[in-house]
Amino acid sequence: MEQFASVWFFGQVRKKQFFNDSEIKYCESLITPPRHHRVMGLKEKFGVDLGVFKDSTTWKALGIGIVLFSIIGYAGLSMFDLASSGYGVDRDNIRLAPDFQVETVNRSVEEGELVNDTGWFQLSDHRGKVVIVDFMAIDCANCHLVQAHLESEYEDWQEYNGDYEIIVISVGMWYSVESLGMLNETFGDDDSDAHMPWIVATGDTDSVLKSEVIHSGVNSSEVDLGDGTYCIEAQVNGSAKEVSCFDIGNGLTDNDDLDVDVAGIELTILENSSVNFTIETTLEGNITWEIIEFSRGDMVEEYQAQAIPVVLVIDHEGFIVAKESSGTPTGGWDDFDGAVLAAARGDAEDMRFSLAEVDRSASAIFTMGLLLGVLVYFSPCAFPILPGYISYYVGLGQREDELIEAGKLESRMPAHWILGGLAALGQLTFFAIIGIVILGLGSVINLSGVLHYFALAVAILLIVLGAFMLTGGTAHLLGFVQKLVDKYSTTEMDDRFTPKRNMYLWGIGYSAASIDCTAAAVIPFIAYLALIGGTATWTGLAGLMLSVSLLMIAVTTVVGLGQQRFINILRRSTGLIKAIGAWMMMMAGIALTFYLTQPELIASWM
């Protein structure tokens, strides 16, 4: 500047006495900052250096980032498919799918003759049809991918010339927060983009119709029974069964319509209390009897739908023949669609399986929490974030020695399992907040419709953060974001570098970004635990927390074991590592945004 000032001063004097016009222009050019100086001024003001896009390292980092993102993302989805395929399934003891009654939105066309006069749908009324049951929620992005696929196939299924008609019913499973009216507003309107041309209903805590043999014997007898709804079935040497039904207690549904009269057998109930009954017969042989208790069950529990989406194919005899738990199955939809058509032809008997029987023991609920943790960690909404987390950890503290020497890092980086544990703690902190909102503020705050936009906002923020990281403008990002970053997080450029705190915040961010799928599992599970109560509630939460924690620690440790080798190779390529992390952060945001906003397009690819 001093040189420019002297020239300027000299120019002013000579301009008046000795310089012609061309000489004056030349002198003025000497005091005008060069173009690259003007660009630096822009960078100093806004913190963005677009010159990085001229650097070959930037594009090399993009190529490496795409490869890593694809490999890690596919591995995460594969883990999800593997875990979900066996969740809540029993292939050894084949039983009928649980019968259920659900209230529908009762439109004149879509529900039409498939429901009763008051708009209720009962599964057993549709024996002889193939029923596709889609368990979903309004605020569940992965559910919408399932529905987009169903819609793409629906007309073909309606026109399929099989032996058995194919019908579809979508059942809302967030019945604690999403009412039937909300389902109707979202899916019932013909003009809505989310309109469903099939049955739409809501589940409930008493939707499933259950029956269980609780006593059996020979000849007449006396049995002590509590309040409930019962039927006694009697037969002689394998004859047809005489059935007589009754209720004990008030406010229970009578089962008189289930009575069956058989010639030669007379079953008389003497009291509706400690039940006395006599069985008389004109037939020869031994009289045997069974008492069947009828009760109601929670739909989430009976259908093992703690993590949605879940879509089932039930054949014409009432057996489940196919199950899918993701809108983006890594193997595509061919197996599921094939099962639908096989069931319509009556060729699906070899595909039958059952849902696992309900077990409310503490150990069973704990195991359920463990399995659910796997689904949460590798959920389709989380897979874009997983590569970003791994790339961040690879680059975390890569200049450890320099940072210690500069006094920015007090000691060696903590062990990998400690940093992974801190990230897990961040995840659990976020889950705790969601749990408090669900259980404590659910009547005040309606989560439906909010979580989707929250996840979308986080996805967009990832894109912005990645872009600023790549161009060097992170420090000049939106003021309120920077204040939060300055207050709670640190970088290697700060006076003090805090890797522990950073990993904890990353854990919170990991869960926040995947909230659309995470909530689809966590909300029904927490509501289910609140329903059953007791010790099982705490063991279920413990299983979920332990599973998520161990997975985060395991992933962090595995990455950490290869971290040093990776860093040694790229020791002189610090810029490359940071650029890879920035690109992968943007990829995570773009993939998540696409996933949340384009379900029809994604479904068409599967």
378-415 per-position pLDDT tens digit: 766 665 666 667 767 766 656 666 667 777 777 777 88
pLDDT of residue 1: 39
Separation between Cα atoms, residue 491 and residue 261, nearest integer Å: 81
- The closest of 551, 545, 560, 543 to 377, measured between CA atoms, is 551
DSSP-derived 3-state class of residue 156: helix
Average pLDDT over residues 296-319: 89
Averaged pLDDT, 200-215: 90
Q: Give me the mean pLDDT over the 274-282 stretch.
A: 77
**Token digits for 85?**
């395929």
Cα dist from 201 to 5, 518, 568, whole Å: 80, 23, 58
Asked whether residue 488 carries a pLDDT value surpassing 80, the answer given is: no
pLDDT at 196 over 60: yes
Is the per-residue pLDDT at 190 higher than 50?
yes
Bridge-based pairing of strands 242-248 and 89-90 is unpaired
Task: For residue 570, name the pLDDT band (cuts at 50, 70, 90).
Answer: very low
- Tell me the domains of the chain and their CATH numbers: 50-84+363-605 (no CATH), 89-207+300-355 (3.40.30.10), 209-297 (no CATH)
Q: What is the pLDDT of residue 165?
A: 95
pLDDT in tens, 133-181: 999 988 887 888 899 999 999 999 999 999 999 999 999 988 877 889 9
For the chain, how many residues are written?
A: 606
Tokens read off for 170? 């979508």
Angle between helices 499-513 and 416-440 (to 10 degrees): 40
End-to-end CA distance of the chain: 63
pLDDT category at 242 given cuts 50, 70, 90 is: confident
Helix (H, G, I), strand (E, B) or coil at 504: helix
Q: Pick the most confident of 56-70, 340-354, 524-538.
A: 340-354
pLDDT-derived band of residue 481, with 50, 70 and 90 as boundaries? Answer: very low
The predicted pLDDT at position 4 comes to: 38
Distance CA 43, CA 247 (A): 80
pLDDT at 480: 44
- Percentage of the chain beyond pLDDT 70 is 64
Taking only the tens place, the pLDDT of each residue in 519-534 is: 666 666 776 676 666 6
User: Of 184-188, 427-431, 550-554, which gets the smallest average pLDDT?
Assistant: 427-431
What number is the average pLDDT over the span 8-34?
46
Mean pLDDT along residues 97-112: 92
- Please tell me the distance from the alpha carbon of residue 240 to that of residue 469, in angstroms, as a whole number: 77
**What is the rounded average pLDDT for all residues in the chain?**
75
pLDDT reported for residue 11: 38
For residue 72, give the 3-state DSSP assignment: helix
Confidence of residue 332 (pLDDT cuts 50, 70, 90): confident
pLDDT class for 477, splitting at 50, 70, 90?
very low
Is residue 346 very low, low, confident or very high in pLDDT (cuts 50, 70, 90)? very high
**Alpha-carbon dihedral of residues 172, 173, 178, 181, nearest 10 degrees?**
30
Range with lowest mean pLDDT among 100-104, 300-304, 384-388, 422-426: 384-388
User: Where is pLDDT greater, at 300 or 126?
Assistant: 126
Question: Among positive and negative, which fits the CA dihedral 371, 372, 374, 378?
Answer: positive
Proportion of the chain above pLDDT 90, given as a percent = 19
pLDDT of residue 495 exceeding 80, the answer is no
- Confidence at 323, pLDDT banded by 50, 70, 90: very high
358 vs 444, more confident? 358
Q: Name the more confident of 515 and 189.
A: 189
**Residue 533 Rama label (left phi>0; alpha psi -120 to 50; beta):** left
- Please say if the pLDDT value at position 347 is more than 70: yes
| Residue from 3, 36, 37, 38 nearest 11 by CA | 3
Kindly tell me if the per-residue pLDDT of 496 is higher than 90: no
Q: What is the pLDDT of residues 421-452, one digit of tens each?
A: 888 888 888 877 766 665 555 444 555 555 55
DSSP state of 586: H
577 contacts 60 by C-beta, under 8 angstroms: no
pLDDT of residue 533: 66
117: helix, strand or coil? coil
> Tokens standing for 11?
């120019």
User: Higher model confidence: residue 180 or residue 584?
Assistant: 180
37 has a pLDDT exceeding 50? no
Task: Name which of 389, 413, 464, 431 is nearest 68 in CA terms.
Answer: 389
Q: Alpha helix locations (H) across 177-264?
A: 180-183
Residue 577 confidence (pLDDT): 66
Answer yes or no: is pLDDT of 70 > 50. Answer: yes
According to the model, what pLDDT value does residue 184 have? 92
CA distance 397 to 579: 15
Q: How far apart are CA 350 and CA 256, in angstroms?
A: 36
Q: What is the pLDDT of residue 262?
A: 72
41-55, 219-233, 240-254 — which one is most confidently predicted on average? 219-233
In this predicted structure, the answer to whether residue 2 has a pLDDT above a threshold of 60 is no
Question: For position 544, what pLDDT does the model report?
Answer: 81
**Residue of higher predicted confidence among 228 and 569:** 228
